[in-house]
């Protein structure tokens, strides 16, 4: 059963605390999205049910954005309030742990650059014209194909 993006974000905040790390809103949003992508790519399962949208600076989970935007560029110091507990399966926890380790040295700007590079699901969805565009849904199938390809490129197509 998939979780909400807020539950995944709180799990990332908690694991970050265990590692002595705090994340800015941009980092948290991107790490939550990336964990969702790896879950789709590796296990064909969604990590959360919330929609992902293509905004100017990359993929955004609107519900999560609105909960953490008040921190601006400062680290998030507490779990998101009023979010129900959720039991995470072993493979979900492994994906979250992998993402936190693999992307630990990237700040929010780096993560934004990674998630809205050429060829990414964001790039395939976002209308590249003038203006401040948002509210363009990024389908899970695009996210899944992207992270499957990243995996195949990393370990070989037959792994």
Grouping H, G, I as helix, E, B as strand and the rest as coil, residue 29 is helix
Provide the number of structural domains found in the chain: 1
Instruction: Report which of 143, 149, 157, 159 is spatially closest to residue 61, judged by C-alpha positions.
Output: 143
For 8-49, the pLDDT digits (tens) are: 999 999 999 999 999 999 999 999 999 999 999 999 999 999
What's the pTM?
Answer: 0.94
Calculate the dihedral angle through the C-alpha atoms of 61, 64, 69, 70, rounding to the nearest 10 degrees: 170
Domain residues for the domain of 135 are 5-155
> Which of the given ranges, 4-8, 82-86, 122-126, 128-132, has the highest pLDDT on average?
4-8
For 101-121, the pLDDT digits (tens) are: 999 999 999 999 999 899 999
Residues 98 and 151: their CA atoms lie apart, in Å, by 13
- The owner of tokens 């600076």 is 57
Cβ-contact 151, 99 below 8 angstroms: no
């Amino acid at each position: 059963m998939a979780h909400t993006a807020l539950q995944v974000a709180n799990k990332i905040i908690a694991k970050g605390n265990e590692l002595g790390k705090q994340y800015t809103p941009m980092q948290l949003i991107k790490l939550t999205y990336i964990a969702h992508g790896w879950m789709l790519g590796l296990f064909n399962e969604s990590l959360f049910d919330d929609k992902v949208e293509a905004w100017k600076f990359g993929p955004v989970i609107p519900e999560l954005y609105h909960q953490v935007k008040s921190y601006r560029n400062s680290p998030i110091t507490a779990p998101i309030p009023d979010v129900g507990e959720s039991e995470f399966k072993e493979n979900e926890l492994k994906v979250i742990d992998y993402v936190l380790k693999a992307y630990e040295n990237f700040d929010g700007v780096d993560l934004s650059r990674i998630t809205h590079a050429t060829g990414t699901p964001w790039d395939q969805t976002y209308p590249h014209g003038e203006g401040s565009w948002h509210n363009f849904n990024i389908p899970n199938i695009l996210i899944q194909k992207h992270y499957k390809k990243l995996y195949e490129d990393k370990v070989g197509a037959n792994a």
